[in-house]
Structure 1
Amino acid sequence: MNESNLFYIIVIDMDGNYSYINNNYAKVFSHINNNFIGQPYHITMHPDDMNTCLEVSTKCFENPDKLFLATIRKHNGEGGYVYTQWEYKAMFDDKKNPAGIFCIGHNITKYVGEELQLKNAKEEIEKNSAIMKKIVFQQSHLICAPLSNIIGLTTILDKTLLDSNTSNICDMILESTNQPDKVIRNIITTART
């Protein structure tokens, strides 16, 4: 595993210092230090993630047969951070005394970025869906209802004894209101499917 190009492998001793790192970890984080052994574990990470490490390490010693996950941000050497996912496991010496924490991890920055994009896309879809529902409601209740009333009243008016000029005007009103009514009903149907 020392030669792994995919995984970072580190061991942290009981004083909170690096006691082992694999070549991949050394290479990727060489911008922080060129020799991690004996250095504090937190020199590579975002300060807010130190509590995560302490909590997960405590769980490891409370449950020595289990692995525990942690997501830790590490300095990228450019003023930002990469996201890393780790599995922690408690280590014990021959006398069953705590000896340190074994950690295996990998870079998940791309995954975190894609998750953020997906979350933003979902929020945008939900926002647009709410807007569409509002538009459908407005089309069906606030526009269609009065338009239907105009069509109904014009139809009733046209059936009364009117002179030909007024009857002709009623026909034009019906034709003019039927066209947007059909368009609006098609929009509502399309939006609901």
Structure 2
Amino acid sequence: MQNFEETKTLFNNSSLFYIISTDMDGKYSFINEHYAKQFSHVDTTLVGKPYYITMHPDDRNTCIEVSTKCFENPTKLFPATIRKHDGEGGYVYTQWEYKAMLDDKKNPAGIFCLGYNITKYVGEELQLQKANEKIEQNSNTLKNIIFQQSHLVRAPLSNIIGLTSILDKTLLDSNTSNICDMILESSRQLDEIIKSIVTNART
């Protein structure tokens, strides 16, 4: 327990880290000043209150599971991500390391936790995820455009070029033959434009 007391003293005035401990009844036995200030909207005297009053109800099971692991492996630290009430109807995300506390006789005495706010990081992760989803969506759209350009559009265009070429070789008057030549040339130009669009889209 001496190490825990030294750690509590060291981080009591931290402006970044949360330090808390709970007893075997699941009640706060210690909170540092930073934690007390950040969650004073829940209760101004958290010590002696149930640990779960500051958190999202769905995260209670996470605490129970991680605490169980701590007592099964008292020399190890175990991580947990917990949502905490922000005082405005929402939640902040916090990341923790849990460790079992043992008394002088090596009996379970509670849980010691070191944590910090990761809300900004989670927000950036969500933005990145949305951006990746948008990129994937745009990529699929681009693939569809490439397919349509290279198959659905060029197929009938190739037919037009072929039919115009055949028509141009039949006995036509000079005016009609000239029109066929212009249709053929315009079709070939359009075909080259489509080829260029498909090529650029694939690079």
Q: TM-score by structure 2 length? A: 0.91
* Alignment partner of 1:22 is 2:32: yes
Sequence identity (%): 75
- Number of the residue aligned with 1:170: 180
- Number of the residue aligned with 2:138: 128
CA distance in 2, matches of 1:179, 1:5: 68
Aligned mate of 1:144, from 131, 154, 158: 154
Q: Which runs of no fewer than 5 residues in structure 2 stay unpaired?
A: 1-10
RMSD of aligned residue pairs (Cα, Å): 1.2
CA distance in 2, matches of 1:122, 1:83: 22
CA distance in 2, matches of 1:119, 1:149: 44
- Number of the residue aligned with 2:90: 80
What are the Cα deviations for residues 77-126 of structure 1, in whole angstroms up to 9, with x where unaligned? 11111000101011111100001111011111111111111111111111
* Alignment partner of 1:183 is 2:165: no
* Alignment partner of 1:97 is 2:107: yes
Which amino acid in 1 is paired with 2:167? L
The CA deviation at 1:146 is 1.3
The CA deviation at 1:167 is 1.7
CA distance in 1, matches of 2:171, 2:77: 89
* Alignment partner of 1:116 is 2:130: no
Structure 1 segments, 4+ long, off by >2 Å, are 155-163
The CA deviation at 1:160 is 4.4
The CA deviation at 1:191 is 1.1
CA distance in 1, matches of 2:143, 2:60: 45
- Number of the residue aligned with 1:38: 48
The CA deviation at 1:161 is 4.7
Q: Once structures 1 and 2 are overlaid, which stretch shifts more, 98-107 or 122-131? A: 122-131
CA distance in 2, matches of 1:187, 1:69: 51
Residues matched between the structures, number: 193
Q: Which runs of no fewer than 5 residues in structure 1 stay unpaired?
A: none
Q: Secondary structure at the match of 1:104?
A: strand
CA distance in 2, matches of 1:154, 1:64: 84
Q: Secondary structure at the match of 1:6?
A: coil
Q: TM-score by structure 1 length? A: 0.95
What are the Cα deviations for residues 43-84 of structure 1, in whole angstroms up to 9, with x where unaligned? 100111100000000011111121111111100011111000
The CA deviation at 1:28 is 0.7
Q: Once structures 1 and 2 are overlaid, which stretch shifts more, 162-171 or 70-79? A: 162-171
The CA deviation at 1:190 is 1.3
CA distance in 2, matches of 1:183, 1:12: 71
CA distance in 1, matches of 2:56, 2:108: 26
